[in-house]
Structure 1
Amino acid sequence: MPKKPKKAPRLPQQPIDRLVGPLRRFLNIEASSGVVLMFCTLVAVVAANSPLSEWYLGLWNTEIGFSFADFEFRHSLKHWINDGLMAIFFFVIGLEVRREVVLGELRDLRQAALPIAAAVGGMVVPAGIYMAMHVGQPSMRGWGVPMATDIAFVVGCLAILGPRVPHNLRILLLSLAIVDDIGAIVVIAIGYTSDLDLSWLVVASVGIVIVHLLMRVGVRRIPVYCAVAAWVWFAVHESGVHATLAGVMLGLMTPARAYLSAGAFRKLLRRVGKIFEGDGWESRRHRADTVRSMQNVTRETISPLEYLETTLHPWTSFVIMPLFALANAGVPLQLTDLNHPIAIAIVVGLVLGKPLGIVLFSWLAIQIGVARLPGDLNWKMLSAAGFLAGIGFTMSLFIAGLAFGEQGLDTAKVGVLAGSAIAVTLGMGLLWRTLPKPVERL
């Protein structure tokens, strides 16, 4: 039997660890981010339909910014979240996409063919349904809203179903969501960008070139990259392209390989061990510099991509996305909105278009021989998973804000919330009935 990997050494436990420990364990549960996101969504919806509605909705319109001489940069709190903090969220998406393409399930085109086909179908068919229902109308601009899949909710649902979910189905859905994110990025860049300022795009391009040069010459200091990233973000923001795309570009550029090999690190560890042998460490000069050097060397044993993704993922899952939900999911609910053509088209796109597109394009990919259905999956499972992929939420709300602005946005939000709620109910119900029952232990 293979030996179990040794656990990493831990520091002696302190009293505060007894308080922080349960929270840390909660944050490490796969479904936790989905739970937090759902809670914040409910808070936003309840607050927007309570006596505090006017205060709550007005809070996100509070102007925040700074001025310097004749230059002024002020925007609403909601704008800072949607264009600023969400750029970090999109940076993490860029990291995930690069990891999957370089190291993950998408690196092998043959293996990636099925999730790519399913994702394309899950975007094209809902968009086509929406456009067909609004052809020739100004509201057709919302065609991108029902295309998205919310990976946080999907992961949370899969975690709730637990070991009943076959490994290949889990991989298929997660890969599909990653490809879906790529599609959403393309949709935002092409479909919802106008009034381009080429001079600011040139400034942003210079920043991207500087990032590339910094990596080529071996700069490792994260604050340096943060400063250039802020430059790129500001330039993209002023160019007319949505500022979050700056995060995607920088994420895709992040190196996916470690700078220091495992063999070289082992040699360094042996050298470090000799430093601590005997009584020499206590009398050694410049110990702080030595410790700092060891910290830097340790960090180099994993890739910048892995380090940044691991560091930022809790912040995006438990801070940025919940804030986005609080700022964007709050909508005064009116029954008339459910009968509005915009809401109906979004619901139909998410609930029916998603599973139809996923199954249809998967079937076509298998029939023409570019993909195959894994042995532990069947069409019933794939169809049920297709309904689960209709949970649009974060990306759908984000694109709705770009598509409609203030006019028609509340109606689109109602459609997204209703469609996502129906999708999660159908998806979980069908998966619960379709997936193999857990084996009872005697």
Structure 2
Amino acid sequence: MTVTDTVATATGRILDAPALWPAQAHTPTVIGRQLVIERGEGAYVHTTDGRRLFDGTAGLWHANVGHAHRDLARVAHEQMLRLETYHQFARYSNDRALALGERLAAISPIERPKVLLNSGGSDAIDLACKLARRHWQREGRPEKTIILSREFSYHGLHAYGTSIAGLDFNREGYGTDSLVPETSRVPQHDLDALEARIAELGAHRIAAFVTEPVQGTGGVHPPHDGYFERLQRICREHDILLVIDEVITGFGRTGTMFAAERYGIEPDLLTFAKGVTSGYAPLGGVLAAPRIWEPFFVDSPETPIFRWGATYSGHATAAAVALEHLDILERDGLLPRVAELEQVLARELAGLAERRPEVVDVRVAGLLGGISLAEHLVAERVTDALVELGFISRPLRGNTLQISPPFIIDDAELVSFVAAIEHAITEEGSR
């Protein structure tokens, strides 16, 4: 009898399921219930069983210009017929990656940055953490290796993202508290606790502090007033690099191109992904400040090398899509539109909280919203009920409902989404 047979005998039969392993899932509770998306149009997606659903999460926070945008499809098609991609190792590069680098540098909240391109947010976090450590090694301070992060944070699921995650369940089951040992987490909003942790570990051992401007998967938590002002002061005083994870917030989600602009943050490294292409091509990367990149660009035989890059770093088709996507954001005035929609969302959620005692808290930052529910309700059940009403939300940490629809929606659609949430909450509360 195999180990699998033993487990099946002890706990139940092995489920008959598709070959594709579902991500982030307790498989017994999703097999047979999966919604298979076959096409999209604007802010809506269609399933193989005939449902038309309002995409209230923009996929995984990324479909900012909506689904099936013809201009992005056209640009990808044209680029693939011209050059699908070419790597950027050593002497080689490609024209689209170079053009995107210049475009990103021009809109970056970091002055005179260098741009490192890869395939997504998890890649970007891995790269930023490695670059932070490489920086201190090059500076002759090899003891600075620890990466700090915040409770309830999410930074992807590569080795570094798993290691610095403030969501404990993402780090469990690997035989150690952290895949990369030199990591530590601090309370969500408590900067006194951060200073205490720095004193405990020793600032001379800490390479960087990584944080989202608005915590996303952790429950949509904007920063408290003054948080980033003091955080930056602490990082400067203790010579700790500040890494801002804008994988969710970058490219307009908070009403400015980057949330760093909204909250007055001056990072040493900034990671991005998702919204750079609205998910139309896998692309992410890091913006690096001059203090980080300049030593690697000195014209000298002694200049060190930072070993980074993968096959798809600077992928030409992804870069072409990103360039067109940035044009669309500007041409269609979508960042000012997010600022307008924020006011609608804030108004509707405030009303919801006033009317429904089951709503414990609501939080809004741009077109990002979180609704925390009372303990007697289960967010998963509310999101299931929303599907039956024709709307997609997602349960987040803290019994929270996610709101992050595409930027292209109208006011009425956003009002209807919140109304559907209220209906679902009311129905579940009466069970």
Give TM-score, length-normalised by structure 1. 0.27
Higher strand share: 2
The one of the two structures with greater contact order (alpha-carbon pairs below 8 A, sep at least 6) is 1
Is the radius of gyration larger for structure 1 or structure 2?
Answer: 1
- The structure where helix makes up a greater share of residues is 1
